[in-house]
Structure 1
Amino acid sequence: PVYFVDAPDFFLAHELAHQWWGQAVGWNNYHEQWLSEGFAQYFASLYARHAQGDDVFRGIMRQMRDWAMQQSDQGPVYLGYRLGHIQGDKRIFRALVYNKGAMVLHMLHRLLGDEVFFRGVRRFYTDRQYQKAGTEDLRLAFEQVSSVSLTRFFDRYIHSTGLPELGFTYRLETAPEEESALVVKLRFEQRTDELYDVPVTVTLHYRTGDSQNVVVSVTERVTEVRVPLAGPLSRVDVNRDFEALARIVDQN
């Protein structure tokens, strides 16, 4: 694992996490190494948020995202240790198995929410404790607790190299039920042939200086949501937290 200046205990937390991910729950073969390293990387990040706060956590996730985005075209996470082998560049392996793996878990966390995500983690751990596991076991555990099909999610992010490309626009509208009230319509359009499931944060900034984060689950070719406004807007930011593993073009 990499060293983060603002999270001095990150390395230790990562290695401790292997007591659960990699030791208590093993991985079937080299294709599944991300279940050990990606999990340890993500849970070390969650520890950093607990110990150092949200700003440090966001900085860690942003760095992981940047590394994953830079190297994603080098091969799917599922290639395991073979990533970067031909080039003799271990950074590719770390960027994808460790950091993209952690980002995939983080996006799944944001798609499902705290309660369902951690129920899925516990289900996976309980079902596969002292055994070897694969990505399919993880998918089934999360599907059982969420009743959501996650085949496409894991196919896109673990078995493929592509990343979503999204166009984003917003528009102010009057609320249908109350003409004096305003809502903002947030619109995402997926530009790749293949569709992805990706949670994206939209930050609404008000003239009062307050702000509001809205997490939009982008799952269709076009995803639109309407958000009631608490006052006049000054601006709108998309993916300001850099927690979506996607290329996003703000078209406003």
Structure 2
Amino acid sequence: MIRFRLLGSVGVCRDSGDGAAVAGTRRRALLAMLLLNAGNDVTFGSLAEAVWPEGEPPRSVNALQAQITRLRRYLAERLDGRQLIETRGFGYRIVLRPGDLDLERFEHLRRAARQRAGSDPGGALDLLRTALALWQGPALADIRDHSATLHAAAVQAEENRMLAIEELIDLNFRLGRHGRIIGDLKRLAAEYPMRERLYGRLIIALGKTGRRAEAAQYFRRTHEQMVDELGISPSSELNQVLADILADPQG
């Protein structure tokens, strides 16, 4: 089965993993806009803004139609002639089967994990791991800065990924696996130094495993970074997390 990828470079791949990024920046931008709105009509204007953010060319409707024709030919060569892009009244629409798009599968698995979390945290944890494994790099990695619309979509997808990671951490906490994820928390805190919630979880995990001095050290480091880089102090919530850890004789 052919699948479409937005969680990394924009591409077309098979279940086996074979595939490649779509060639051509404008073609990638056009495909990405259709995929981000899969099943819905996308107007000429919206597509043109994403493909030519610097300004539409003369006879932009004809130019867009030519881009669509090339994209249809490109996809047909990889889909045994199957056509996915429909012409609509004032634009186009791509029609996919369930599971064809990695972003859609990610969101589906994340919703399923939330529904299961209350009764089966272990099962929810497995679903989130499967969802996060779909990511092959930053969302829309090779075109995220091509237009404001695509950049905003990439930023939103990345935020949802971080929320899924935090949900996975919380499920590990519920299962008492604080020590098992300290290494991952340190890596994530270093990668996202201004994401205070990650530091809060790291401090909790260190405290729960008896490493209260190290928890205090990470708090001081977070405080210094936030003051130096943002000019603000950690929130009262993070201060309370540390206070609770230091006050708990059981760690």
TM-score, normalisation: structure 2: 0.25
Relative to its length, the structure with more helix (as a share) is 2
Larger Rg: 2
TM-score, normalisation: structure 1: 0.25
Relative to its length, the structure with more strand (as a share) is 1
